[in-house]
Amino acid sequence: MQIAVTEYDALTDRVARLYATGAYDEALAALDRASSSLAPWIAELTHFRACLLGALGRPQAAQSALRSAAARGSWWAESLLIDDDDLAACRPCPNSPSYSNSPAPTAQCHTTNPPRRSCRCRRTGHGVW
């Protein structure tokens, strides 16, 4: 397990650096190359992926990634999804017929809160998964 932790740390450090420089496609490619030994961190890695897809203007792909992981048992604190500008396009407009104010601890990110600029892609221990 220690090897997987080291691999996870290296991957998340690399993805965070690439995200910070705007190299979103390269960061996605790094996630794509992640080994299956990182399965215990699928929720956090999926959140990274969704942030990157959102930043690339691909909200449907971001939402699909979150929903797929949620269907396999991953979940995120609602605040993690609603406070992230990169996921803002995943949320329907409050005037939309599909809008809901119900809590969404899965990939259904609905909110009336304005987004704040920050990708909350954090290491294990700093989130709720």
For the chain, give every domain's residue range: 2-75
Handedness of CA 61, 65, 66, 70 (dihedral sign): positive
Query: Of the given ranges (34-43, 53-62, 89-98), which has the lowest mean pLDDT?
Result: 89-98
Q: Cβ atoms within 10 A of the Cβ of 54, count?
A: 24
The pTM assigned to this predicted structure is 0.70
Angle made by CA atoms 82, 85, 86, in degrees to the nearest 5 = 105
Q: Cβ atoms within 10 A of the Cβ of 42, count?
A: 17
Across the chain, mean pLDDT equals: 75
pLDDT of residue 94: 52
